[in-house]
Structure 1
Amino acid sequence: MLDMFEDKLQGIKAKYGQDCLDRVAEMFDAGPEDRHPLQSGAKYIMKGLSTTPWLDIENMCELKPLVQRLEAVAPAIKEEVREAVRQKSSTLVNYEHYLGAQKDWSALYLYRNEKPKPEVQQVVPVTWDVFQNELRDWHCPLLEVHFSLLHPGAEIKPHSDLWNFTLNLQLAVDIPEAGCEITVANEPRNWQEGKCLIFDYSYEHHAHNHSDQNRICLLMDIWHPDLTAAEREALHIVFSEIRRLTGM
């Protein structure tokens, strides 16, 4: 399949070597037998990326500056997004997943549709500063950065996301004392307010809020640390083009 984009990838190969995109090419050729059963709902699985459904942030040294900054400013992030909710900010909208939309699941986007949302800078300035600095080099521009608000009683049904070359980093911003849980590959966990967690969302996952308050997390789609610079560049080019052609 990469042959379709050869003219767009020649510069990457000239810069990094002719075999620098072998794993990307293999990903498009891999069949369903090459993946974990609980990744069956994902569309693309790249081999050679170290993964488990839940990942240990402590073992991901490259991410520590980002995680440390997020956790250090978590109280300020909580206050500014709570104020946005109190003020019923126009930046809060129904969350739209590629599988559909839910009225009991809202979002405040900092980045969406491959574009930043500068209008939110005045609404969540502390979060915006993290997005512009520590998060900048990790965020996958194919995907989003947003606050996810699960309203009381909300359920996110089991699903897998599209691929495994990005990971979902979450900062638990405003978490009810009980009734909230996220499960990845049949392993449930609770959010710990002010702390980050990270998982591979190509594995089936689901979540719920059975409390009487909003559950708010900051969700960040980040590149898998095992990707090379060449692979990042190529994946961005290829999937931007696939989206343009298919609307995926």
Structure 2
Amino acid sequence: GILREIGSEFEAYVQKEATEPLNQWAELNKSQRWSALFLYKDGTRIDHICRRAPKTLAILERIPRLDIPGRGPTAFFSALDAKTHIPPHTGVNNIRSIVHLPLIVPENTWFRVGNDKRPFKRGEAWVFDDSIEHEAMNDSDERRIILIFDVW
């Protein structure tokens, strides 16, 4: 199905570009164990990435989104290595909702927003206000991949 296809677009990019580091959220953990591959970042479309993920881009362009230069939309693949924990953190505002769409999710992966903790399930999106404290864990032996994007 479509989830497998957009997950493969990420995998193909990573495999083809294995010698280059992925973008990372260094301000949170300064680690490649949690990486981001941006299709849109702060309102700017990253064309060289989008060209290699046409199905993902087609889906993202049909979704109502923030369109403010320098702010949004933002959309990216988030890769979390095996045995890696993203510590509790919050977003900077609550003017939009965040969607986490699990694409490649091994067993023993979970996500918590506030007091609500759930296992990641492939294809089951979670929409939330990221100004509420949240964290994630991949306690498996494989990499977890989700698509994260904001909606308006």
Deviation at 1:122, TM superposition (A): 2.9
The residue number in structure 1 matching 2:32 is 103
The residue number in structure 2 matching 1:118 is 47
Determine the C-alpha separation between the residues in 2 that align with 1:126 and 1:189: 28
Determine the C-alpha separation between the residues in 1 that align with 2:18 and 2:96: 30
SS of aligned partner of 2:36: strand
User: Larger % of strand: which?
Assistant: 2
Find out whether 1:179 has 2:104 as its counterpart: no
The residue number in structure 2 matching 1:220 is 149
Q: How many percent of aligned residue pairs carry the same amino acid?
A: 27
SS of aligned partner of 2:5: helix
Deviation at 1:87, TM superposition (A): 2.3
Task: Count residues in correspondence.
Answer: 149
Mark the CA change 1:220 to 1:76 in structure 2 (over 3 Å): closer, same or farther: same
Consecutive unaligned residues in structure 2, runs of 5 or more:
none
Mark the CA change 1:146 to 1:91 in structure 2 (over 3 Å): closer, same or farther: farther
Determine the C-alpha separation between the residues in 2 that align with 1:108 and 1:214: 14
Aligned-partner residue type, residue 35 of structure 2: S
What TM-score does the superposition give when structure 1 sets the normalisation length? 0.55
Please provide the CA RMSD for this pair: 2.1
Determine the C-alpha separation between the residues in 2 that align with 1:208 and 1:154: 6
Give runs of aligned pairs for residues 1-248 of structure 1, distance below 5 A: 73-88=2-17, 93-96=22-25, 98-99=27-28, 101-131=30-60, 133-135=61-63, 137-139=64-66, 141=68, 142-143=71-72, 144-176=74-106, 178-223=107-152
Deviation at 1:102, TM superposition (A): 2.4
Deviation at 1:117, TM superposition (A): 0.2
Contact 1:170 1:219 (8 Å CA) reproduced: yes
